Structure 1
Amino acid sequence: MKSVSIPAARTTPPGRAARGMRPLLAAALLALLAACGEDHITRYPQTTFAPETEMAREQMFLFNLTMWMGIVVGVLTFAGMGYIMWKFRYRPGMPDPEQIHGNTKLEVAWTLLPALIVAVIAVFTVRAIFITQPEPPANALNVRVIGKQWWWEFQYPVGNDTVITANEIHVPINQPVQLLLESDNVLHSFWVPQMAGKRDLITNRVNRLIFTPTVPGVYMGQCAEFCGDSHALMKMRLIAHTPEGFRQWLENEARPALEPTDSTSAVALGKKLVTQGACAGCHVIEGTPMVGRLGPNLTHFGRRRTLAAGIVDNNAENLAKWVSNAPAMKPGSLMPPQGKAAGGNLTEEQIQYIVAYLQSLQ
């Protein structure tokens, strides 16, 4: 039988392979640097990488610790694999490698080292648990948070009264804040990433979340537990004030709604439609006969930045659309359509009167 010679496999020189990887490595480095730029908060307003409280910073430390230990393990693992693949690569004419079985030192090392790494992470995790579950300080501001479908209610005790607002939680800086988290329906999860990690709202249970804001500003948040049709549209804003700014806000919220000065104005006509119509069955406006508790408190609705739990800006156009047909803007909304075009009883003119009144509630 005629022998056939098989040519040796052609391999890419290591240097050429490394040069071929350089553009990919450069692109990955540029992408990483772009993601870490100063504008990432603007591009990603719910970032966890810009902590503004002691709790958020502790969680960020734990994340960084775990990430960098993982990177070190990964680099050492791939470096070892690369060294072995290079040193023991196939060369024409090489003898068969010696067959060995077991290496006690190596097996002990790869058992103890991962156990040591996990132990280090566990120590700092337990430390973080105690830091993020403290006892409430004596000077803490207590805010009751109730998860609804699909919006948020915030209650502030003020003397013998309670200030109630919706979808915007206001807090002072440099003072501990204790949130008392409840749900009156299904599971929800309170999450303002720059303030703290997620904390569940569970029926028939009160969970606590304690943190101290340090920088004034508006921080974005949302529900982080699937709760129904509009779970993704259950947003909120945390507004951190200076102590004086928070005091002024709370004093204003504690006042009843102002009466329209002109009884023939659009505001006065809107008030009559709101307080004597379908709105009165579900909403409260302090200083009026409205005592409904199913929907958000509207006493100072005009001061809020957004409506429909933060999904659109609070302006006349959006408010008119919301009053006319809320389920069209927010699937599953429990507020029935009010406009005649959507099956309700209100004309376009009446809706504009209602918008004028609600926007006057400052």
Structure 2
Amino acid sequence: MENLTALDPRGPVAEMQMSLIQLSLYIMIFVIVIVFTIYIFVLIRFRERPGDTHIPKQVHGNRALEFIWTTIPILLLLLLAIPNVMDTFTLADTGVPEEGVDEALLDEDEAVEDYLVVQATGHQFWWEFEYPDLGINAGQDLYIPTDTRIVVELEASDVIHSFWIPSLAGKQDNIPGITNDLWFEAPEEGIYAGKCTELCGPSHWLMDFKVVAVDPETFAVWAENMAEPDEELTEPSGEVAVEGREVFENNCIGCHAVGDEGSPTGPNFTNFGERTVIAGFLEYNEDNLHDWIRDPESLKPGNDMPAFDENTISEDEMDSLIEYINDLRVLE
């Protein structure tokens, strides 16, 4: 998994933003060196000496000096502003035609051939990812193909959230009633850490997600099986898992969907067994899954998932439910 840092860029957007960080840093270092050089020179050159009572030459009203120390900061600010403004316009243009615009009318330089649109909706405290062109609804893990422009339409269902994948893209707010967008690309396969960066409630700091970049062929298989799950992959593989599916249908399907069955109220479970974490932050293992189902409020305060005590789901039923959930996969 990639570290949660913007200082290790793994895509064109992150590299563009890293270059701006470096430019700002170099300019600040240049200014610090010049200021301290002048400061040390003045301390030494104009220090008080025994018997020296003359007043140094005054520079007030020296137009040449005033021109120099006014012009240099303006040039430095322009050196910062021009690349920032240019990159801002580049990042604001997703390269995807707006609704109602004929793609053929766009200039060749403006159009993007390979792109994937994803709607990322922030909830307290999890992420929902819809692929409108593919008919897919996923939760917590954002699967994407490599070397493809990913256009993310950002929305929120409750309060303001903020979408951030530091090694791939910068931050952008998810605001209720407003759709923002951003784009990024992942040239390399891997799992990239993502996070909400807008204080959105007691479990804001636990509102993490993963971006799973796979090759285009693998993504095509994943997308096909998510849209129409292969029964050989989603059917319970044993008697215990079959019992677990019944427990799931009796207790969980009102909020979670598997394939085309269930509700989209909570994260989609079609490929739950392929996740690396539970609820966005817990290491994926049976003990953590058990504890999460039993008492989610103690682990992630403020979330909407109800607790299931032994009066609702017995320990035997819990074991079979976990067996069934672990079997939910769409990739072999």
Normalised TM-score (structure 2): 0.88
Corresponding letter in the other structure for 1:345: T
Given that residues 256 and 267 in structure 2 are in contact (C-alpha distance below 8 angstroms), is that contact kept between their aligned partners in structure 1? yes
Given that residues 324 and 351 in structure 1 are in contact (C-alpha distance below 8 angstroms), is that contact kept between their aligned partners in structure 2? no
Offset of 1:196 from its aligned partner? 1.0
The 3 A distance-change label for structure 1 pair 211 and 261 is closer
2:101 is matched with which residue? none
Q: Does 1:173 align with 2:146?
A: yes
Offset of 1:249 from its aligned partner? 2.1
Once the two structures are superposed, residues 5-32 of structure 1 have per-residue CA deviations (whole angstroms, 9 ceiling, x without a partner) of xxxxxxxxxxxxxxxxxxxxxxxxxxxx
1:334 is matched with which residue? 304
1:296 is matched with which residue? 267
2:49 is matched with which residue? 91
Once the two structures are superposed, residues 98-155 of structure 1 have per-residue CA deviations (whole angstroms, 9 ceiling, x without a partner) of 4736142222222221112112211111111111112322421111111111011111
Offset of 1:324 from its aligned partner? 0.6
Counterpart CA distance in 1 for 2:295 and 2:50 is: 77
Counterpart CA distance in 2 for 1:287 and 1:192 is: 29
1:31 is matched with which residue? none
Given that residues 161 and 197 in structure 2 are in contact (C-alpha distance below 8 angstroms), is that contact kept between their aligned partners in structure 1? yes
Once the two structures are superposed, residues 296-326 of structure 1 have per-residue CA deviations (whole angstroms, 9 ceiling, x without a partner) of 11122111111112x1122211111111111
1:127 is matched with which residue? 86
1:146 is matched with which residue? 121
Corresponding letter in the other structure for 1:171: I
Offset of 1:206 from its aligned partner? 1.3
2:68 is matched with which residue? 109
Given that residues 165 and 194 in structure 2 are in contact (C-alpha distance below 8 angstroms), is that contact kept between their aligned partners in structure 1? yes
Counterpart CA distance in 1 for 2:184 and 2:235 is: 38
Normalised TM-score (structure 1): 0.81
Given that residues 49 and 60 in structure 1 are in contact (C-alpha distance below 8 angstroms), is that contact kept between their aligned partners in structure 2? yes
1:191 is matched with which residue? 164
Higher RCO by CA contacts (8 Å cutoff, separation 6 or greater): 2
Corresponding letter in the other structure for 2:303: S
Counterpart CA distance in 1 for 2:253 and 2:139 is: 17
Offset of 1:274 from its aligned partner? 1.1
Q: Does 1:350 align with 2:317?
A: yes
Q: Which runs of 5+ in 2 are unaligned?
A: 97-111
Q: Does 1:213 align with 2:186?
A: yes
What is the 5 A alignment of 1:271-286?
271-277=245-251, 279-286=252-259
Offset of 1:346 from its aligned partner? 2.1
The 3 A distance-change label for structure 1 pair 99 and 304 is same
2:288 is matched with which residue? 318
Offset of 1:158 from its aligned partner? 5.0
Offset of 1:81 from its aligned partner? 0.3
Given that residues 117 and 133 in structure 2 are in contact (C-alpha distance below 8 angstroms), is that contact kept between their aligned partners in structure 1? no
1:231 is matched with which residue? 204
Counterpart CA distance in 2 for 1:333 and 1:345 is: 19
The 3 A distance-change label for structure 1 pair 266 and 285 is same
Once the two structures are superposed, residues 46-84 of structure 1 have per-residue CA deviations (whole angstroms, 9 ceiling, x without a partner) of 121221222211111111111101110110001100011
Corresponding letter in the other structure for 1:71: I
The 3 A distance-change label for structure 1 pair 261 and 219 is closer
- What is the RMSD of the two structures over their aligned residues, measured on CA atoms? 1.9
1:100 is matched with which residue? 58
Corresponding letter in the other structure for 1:193: P
Counterpart CA distance in 2 for 1:276 and 1:74 is: 66
**Which sits farther off after the overlay, 106-115 or 249-258?**
249-258
Instruction: Specify which of 175, 179, 198 is matched with residue 202 of structure 1.
Output: 175
**Greater C-alpha Rg:** 1
Offset of 1:293 from its aligned partner? 2.4
1:80 is matched with which residue? 38
Offset of 1:261 from its aligned partner? 5.2
Counterpart CA distance in 1 for 2:74 and 2:202 is: 44
**Which sits farther off after the overlay, 191-200 or 83-92?**
83-92
Once the two structures are superposed, residues 157-184 of structure 1 have per-residue CA deviations (whole angstroms, 9 ceiling, x without a partner) of 355xx11111111111111111111111
Counterpart CA distance in 2 for 1:357 and 1:326 is: 19
Once the two structures are superposed, residues 174-200 of structure 1 have per-residue CA deviations (whole angstroms, 9 ceiling, x without a partner) of 111111111111111110011111011
Corresponding letter in the other structure for 1:180: E
Given that residues 227 and 259 in structure 2 are in contact (C-alpha distance below 8 angstroms), is that contact kept between their aligned partners in structure 1? no
SS at match of 2:191: strand
What is the 5 A alignment of 1:47-62?
47-62=5-20
**Which sits farther off after the overlay, 236-245 or 183-192?**
236-245
